Amino acid sequence: MNRKELLDCVLACCEPRRVILYGEKFVVDSRDLKSADLCIILDECDKKALLNKLYLRINMPIPVQFLLYHTDEWQTLLQDTGSYASAIEKKGTVLYGETAQG
């Protein structure tokens, strides 16, 4: 599984503003993912319901973990340079949406 296939699965379940890959492991000698952590930033939604939908509908051959933030919540957390959101913003790879907020 590659990044595009993973992103396509997420986009089939929701309409995010951004999707950031912030943790990934690859199969040795390949660009195929072995596991992935995705941060999904979206406008208001029921986070619990969306997480259930993502985990139930996305049949991935690799372990995937999702972290959801509302857009306003994300913007607030980015103001704190010590926040986990700020670390994701600095080190993650934007798969969908703008490459930088602000």
- Strand order in 93-96's β-sheet? 64-70, 33-42, 18-26, 93-96
| pLDDT digits 0-9 by tens, 6-50 | 899 999 999 999 999 998 777 667 777 788 899 999 998 899 999
| pLDDT digits 0-9 by tens, 35-46 | 889 999 999 889
Q: Is 56 exposed, middle or buried (0-12, 13-18, 19+ CB in 10 A)?
A: exposed
Strands in 1-102 per DSSP E: 18-26, 33-42, 64-70, 93-96
Q: Which residue has the higher pLDDT, 14 or 1?
A: 14
Query: How many Å apart are CA 13 and CA 10, to the nearest integer?
Result: 5
pLDDT of residue 5: 86
The model's pTM: 0.86
Provide the H-helix boundaries in 3-83.
Answer: 3-11, 47-57, 71-78
Q: Give the mean pLDDT of 94-98.
A: 92
pLDDT of residue 102: 43
Q: Give the mean pLDDT of 87-91.
A: 94
| pLDDT digits 0-9 by tens, 55-85 | 988 888 888 999 999 999 999 999 999 999 9
HSE of 76 in the Cβ direction (CA atoms, 13 Å)? 5
